[in-house]
């Protein structure tokens, strides 16, 4: 069984129909550790050693977040800045994430490009394997059926990874 660290990074999760639906769909997948950043760090004081230990144990890092002004929410950016330290995650001695997998799942109330070079470059810098993201644009207009189908696609991918060590 593979270990999956699922970072949920939505500052107003209770108000997000799309993010809540995806999280509900993956919550009981074996091997998934749900990690709601805004619940854990409401004052933005990140426990870096703890976060690094969770990353070290994970085979797959999944980052679920809304798109805010074509970027990630502020706590997720801070998490990346503090947790992915030089000579831990990257740099001459930074080998802790090498060979691990990275998958992002992004929602947006508007349009989205189908390429996220910042995430791809983050994976490359840390020696991780970047996988095509799950993207859900226009969440304000998405039907319940399409939203649930999207959430089930994310769930299926994580089930496959947990059981087979690969993403479909």
Tell me, what's the pLDDT at 113? Answer: 73
pTM of structure: 0.95
Residue 142, Cβ neighbours under 10 Å: how many?
19
The tokens for 54 are 């969770």
As for how many domains the chain has, the answer is: 1
Which domain CATH number covers 18? 3.40.50.360
Buried b (16+ CB within 10 A) or exposed e, 43-64: eeebeeeebbebbeebbbbbbb
Beta-bridge mates of residue 134: 105
**Nearest alpha carbon to residue 127 among 87, 157, 97:** 97
CA distances in angstroms from 125 to 17, 60, 130, 138, listed in the order given? 33, 16, 11, 31
Predicted local distance difference test score (pLDDT) of residue 154: 98
pLDDT along the chain (168 residues), means of 10: 97 93 97 98 98 98 93 96 98 97 94 80 97 93 95 98 94
Give residue 102's domain range. 4-164
> Looking at residue 111, what is its pLDDT?
85
């Amino acid at each position: 069984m593979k270990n999956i660290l699922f970072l949920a990074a939505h500052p107003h999760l209770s108000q997000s129909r799309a993010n809540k639906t995806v999280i509900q769909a993956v919550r009981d997948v074996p091997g998934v550790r749900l990690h709601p950043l805004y619940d854990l760090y409401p004052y933005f004081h990140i426990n870096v050693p703890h976060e690094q230990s969770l990353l070290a144990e994970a085979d797959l890092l999944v980052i679920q977040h809304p798109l805010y002004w074509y970027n990630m929410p502020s706590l997720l950016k801070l998490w990346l800045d503090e947790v992915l330290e030089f000579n831990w995650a990257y740099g001459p001695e930074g080998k802790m994430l090498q060979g691990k997998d990275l998958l992002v799942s992004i929602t947006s109330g508007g349009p989205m490009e189908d390429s996220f070079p910042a995430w791809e470059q983050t994976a490359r810098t840390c020696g991780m394997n970047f996988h095509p993201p799950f993207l859900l644009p226009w969440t304000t207009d998405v039907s319940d059926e399409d939203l649930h189908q999207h959430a089930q696609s994310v769930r299926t991918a994580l089930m496959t990874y947990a059981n087979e060590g690969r993403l479909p």
